[in-house]
Amino acid sequence: MDEKHLNVEVVDSTLREDAALFEPIRRTGKSFYITLLILGVVILWAVWAYLHQYRDGLGVTGLARPIFWGVYITNFVFFIGISHAGTLISAILRLAKAEWRRSITRSAEVITVLVLFFGVGNILIDLGQPDRMLNIIKFSQFQSPLLWDVSSITIYLAASSIYLYLPLIPDIALLRDYGEKWRWFYRILSLGWKGTERQHHLLEKGIAFMAILVIPVAVSVHTVVSFVFAMTIQPMWHSAIFGPYFVAGAIFSGIAALIVAMNVIRKVYHLEDYLRPVHFNNLGILLLVMTLLWFYFTFTEYLTTYYGGEPIHMAIFWSKFTGRFAPYFWGMFLFCFIIPLPILSFKRTRTPMGTLIASISVVIGMWLERFVIVVPTLTNPRIPGEMVLYFPTWIEWSIFAGCVAFFILLYMIFTKIFPIVSIWEVREGREKSMAEVQERIRTYLPGIGVE
Amino acid sequence: MHRWGMVIDLDKCSGCQACVVACHAENNIGIIGPEESAKGRTISWIELIPYIEGEYPHIKARLLPRPCMHCDHPPCTKVCPVNATYKNEEGLVAQINYRCIGCRYCTTACPYTVKYFNWYAPQWPKEMKGSLNRDVSIRTKGVVEKCTFCSHRLLKAREKVKAEGRDLLPEDYIPACVQACPGGAMYFGDLNDPFSTVSTLSRERRAFRLMEDLGTEPKVYYLSEGM
């Protein structure tokens, strides 16, 4: 469709104002298809790798006794962690009435919903008998922390999908009214949204309710993920701090993933006006807080182990500090703390580019963190045996790459169907919240005639 | 009600591994070859593990036959999401192979690492296929397996006893490893019977269990002088 056609269509003048947000849906460039193709190839490669595993068994991985869990379980914890970016951050910012949230909530919420599938997917990939996965429902044994995961993640997926969908409705209605393609599709999804006072009231209520509901659910999700490890009596897993440690780590990696995603969207779709340096600065501060919190938890966890000095724990402790896992452990420390800390500490470096570098570092570091939690404990079981080393095979790396590629692909497709920045919320911010914020500030201050 | 348990006298054990071989033959355990074995994928329901106490020069090393401990408080059954491993009323920790989804949670939760996983479908050399035990089901790839205290022998014994119209005697049900032990170092029986051999031995001065401090209450007792 050409420019003229749009101008005829556009009745609402503000539609022109936010034209940049419709642009990704209206027009798809060559580079999009090239990226799609590359991602498609990676995904097909991963599917082929998985078919190998499905046919021959988990023997094609690097796993062995006693290292029964490896990259797949690491990925599971990692992806579920990333999912904490979206819904949780968005809910907290919404409830805190942080006005700068308006242009970032959508891109965050999408991460949550999409990445959850890969968290769950990795558990299924890890199963020796994936055909029997429905046994989890048929023969549920609720004493198992895995069942807690299943329940918690299912609720989380449902809640965050609703939480993504609700604020989408007014934007879908915009696309139904002014868009050029798939109007029938948007008509169904818009649920008859007309933007009346009553509808707005109901929507805001719904969003507020979901925002509150989703916070405890999100916290529970990563707590029970940690319980998978903490409920066993294995050394350095059986730790009471694991729940909060995992939740903090999840939010940490989640914010980092969000900053990476925002940087990409900003560059690719030219949304510099919507995702401004201030957004990266603010998220950067949040990431800095999480960096310090992560260090605090890590420090506490390892100091307690070291001070207690039980031999069975110390074997694992030293394997991480100076032994076989030292490269992973210190790599984690470098990526999670040493690189991001100085970048995020100074306003001068808390730029989009600065936060991007820090965030990429954190995402890598947090993957290593999950690996360093899962593998060393299993490598040093209580009963001495033959020393077995775990090196992931090409199959495991391929499937990991496939998961990442598939996630990016779904995210890209989402931006082509729905606006990745919430249009109505940005508008609402422009039209209403200036006055609202002024009014709110008045209520804080003494001596300005509000009871 | 019976409470099946095992006693292994380490002072009599010569480390000959007859128990290991007998178990392999009895329970249709797959042969995986040297390459896979080097990767740590051998399946061995009973295994001789080095048990080292103290440090040089006051070091004590033992070879210790290690079957499943059949704990009274098994850490593995709690974590199974599908009830594919559970403790039955006679204290045996059982596996339902055709229900197992292969998540390997029980294998990681067991502090004794007695559980094994079928990384590939089990295989045997052609010559051995004819001698597989028909009383024990063959596992598929992707499921967990472990020592059952030869519970198929208990089933068989029960049927025999029923047919003969008498009570189950101690010698009716004995696992393959105990039967094969040339040194007579292994005993098996009912721990609930105060006069059974295992019950008496388990209360002996030399008796101990592995990692008793974990509270798992294993039903495998070891006897050893000064350990």
CA distance B6 to chain A (A): 19
pLDDT for position A8: 43
pLDDT bin (cut points 50, 70, 90) of residue B54 is confident
Task: Please tell me which residue of chain A has the smallest CA distance to B213.
Answer: A233
**Mean model confidence pLDDT for chain B:** 92
Contact with chain A for residue B50, Cβ under 8 A: yes
pLDDT for position A15: 66
> Is residue A17 scored above 80 in pLDDT?
no
Alpha helices, DSSP H, located in A127-144: 135-138
**Could you tell me the pTM of the whole model?**
0.93
Q: How do strand B4-9 and strand B220-223 relate by DSSP bridges?
A: parallel
| A145 vs A431 pLDDT, higher one | A145
Taking residues B85-98, report their average pLDDT: 93
Say if the Cβ atoms of B142 and A129 lie within 8 Å: yes
Domain spans of chain A, in order of start = 19-427
Q: Which candidate from A132, A141, A382 shows the least CB-CB separation from B80?
A: A141
> Is residue A10 scored above 70 in pLDDT?
no
Contact with chain A for residue B49, Cβ under 8 A: yes
Taking residues A214-226, report their average pLDDT: 93
Sign of the dihedral through C-alpha A141, A142, A143, A149:
positive
pLDDT for position A229: 94
What pLDDT digit, counting tens, does each position of B24-47 carry? Answer: 999 999 988 888 888 889 999 999
* Interface mutation vs chain B, best among A74, A142, A383, A386, most B CBs within 10 Å: A383
Set out the domains of chain B in order of their start, with CATH numbers.
Answer: 4-223 (3.30.70.20)
Q: State the Cα–Cα distance between residues A135 and A147, nearest whole angstrom.
A: 11
Confirm if A193 and A199 have CB atoms less than 8 A apart: yes
CA distance A87 to chain B (A): 28
Q: Which residues of A touch B36 (CB under 8 A)?
A: 59
pLDDT bin (cut points 50, 70, 90) of residue A13 is low
> Is B165 strand, coil or helix?
coil
Instruction: Write the DSSP assignment of B101-117 as a string of letters.
Output: ----HHHHH-TT---EE
pLDDT for position A12: 57
pLDDT for position B33: 86
Q: Which CATH architecture has domain A19-427?
A: Up-down Bundle (1.20)
Contact with chain A for residue B209, Cβ under 8 A: no
Say if the Cβ atoms of B111 and A382 lie within 8 Å: yes
E strand spans, A234-373: none
Say if the Cβ atoms of B108 and A64 lie within 8 Å: no
Taking residues A413-430, report their average pLDDT: 88
- Percentage of residues in chain B having pLDDT higher than 90: 80
ipTM of this predicted structure: 0.91
Helices (H) and strands (E) in chain B, counts: 8, 10
What pLDDT digit, counting tens, does each position of A261-290 carry? Answer: 999 999 998 888 888 899 999 999 999 999
What pLDDT digit, counting tens, does each position of B55-90 carry? Answer: 788 887 788 999 999 999 999 999 999 999 999 999
**Mean model confidence pLDDT for chain A:** 89
Say if the Cβ atoms of B81 and A141 lie within 8 Å: yes
Q: State the Cα–Cα distance between residues A261 and A271, nearest whole angstrom.
A: 12
Contact with chain A for residue B203, Cβ under 8 A: no
> Is residue A7 scored above 90 in pLDDT?
no
Q: Which residues of B touch A235 (CB under 8 A)?
A: none
